[in-house]
Amino acid sequence: MLALGKLLELTLAGREPTEKIQLTREGARLHWLGEGALEITPTAQADNGMDLLLSAGIHGNETAPIELLDRLLQAVASGQLLPSARILFLFGNPEAMRRGERYIEQDINRLFSGRHEQSSGNEALRANELERLAAAFFSKPGRKRLHYDLHTAIRASKIEQFALYPYAEGREHSPVELARLRAAGIDAVLLQQKTGITFSSYTYAHLEAEAFTLELGKARPFGQNQMVNLDLLETRLQQLIEGNEPAGGDTLDGLQLFTVSREVIKHSDAFKLHLPDDIENFSELAQGFLLAEDIANTRWVIEEEGARIIFPNPKVKNGLRAAILIVPAAI
């Protein structure tokens, strides 16, 4: 196997490869662009016009997706997968990966779409670098652009594998992409209603890619992901890499759709979230329930029918989102 196929090993060791460019036996090119970044270019004869960005490790302790990308990259480097797509593999936060931490100073996934310019530190610099790498990758005109940003969640979830579909003014969510997600084992999709500051929001709104944040189970340390079944996703990613997705047949059957009703923003240290620490994502909340309180008599009371909670986290910094209320939706 080519040495550049060991991008994860290089990244965790903090090493720079001796050779920055290598070719597979079939002629696909592997190009090391920087720490945790590797671009694969298929042969001209094989190129099907797809640009596929696969990122993981934006949160350094979310290891199942990192291990998945490692398997895919090693399969390309060893000739088991023959790429027809251009691919950019990105490990988002190498230092946090090395430490087994979610982040070091601040959450990179809250620093995109210009937010890094309002901040400082290594993670702000890394967010800027990730934007630059993605923009360069998606700069070729006339090509299909797809980005999957792979994560696992802090807490358990009643729907274990789900996706967040970003929003951009003037663009509609694609039923074709939703069906592709369903075929990849995704059980629910949250259709966002405003422009976000995450990595997938940046590539969707600014680089015109179809882009998704995929939540793929609960965060665990390296080597402890036996309970996270990513077989369907891995198969679909292999098909995207090789350009041999099944023709037709993908449906939305069984896919649950949700939309954001409200975001709960933490304004001060007085913020209180009236939920158990171990509450699962997608837990239902009854109408009339007092969800949270903050300064100046700010109260969040459940008014929506069928409301559910995702990403509750009262420990976020003041001014950031402490939870999302979602409701069932249709497309």
Domains of the chain as residue ranges with CATH:
3-242 (3.40.630.10), 267-328 (2.40.50.630)
Q: What is the pLDDT of residue 73?
A: 98
Please give the backbone phi and psi of residue 5, each rounded to the nearest 5 degrees, phi first: -70, -15
pTM of the model: 0.93
Residue 240: Cβ within 10 Å count: 23
24, 2 Cβ separation under 8 angstroms: yes
Q: What is the pLDDT of residue 117?
A: 82
Q: pLDDT below 50 — which residues of the chain?
A: none
Q: Which two tokens stand for residue 74?
A: 């090693």
Q: What is the pLDDT of residue 229?
A: 84
Active site includes 95? no
Q: Which of 62, 129, 215, 242 is catalytic?
A: 215
Q: What is the pLDDT of residue 71?
A: 96
Q: What is the pLDDT of residue 227?
A: 63
CA-CA distance, 325 to 322, in Å (whole number)? Answer: 10
The three-point CA angle 188-192-195 to 5° equals 150
Q: What is the pLDDT of residue 92?
A: 97
Q: What is the pLDDT of residue 320?
A: 86
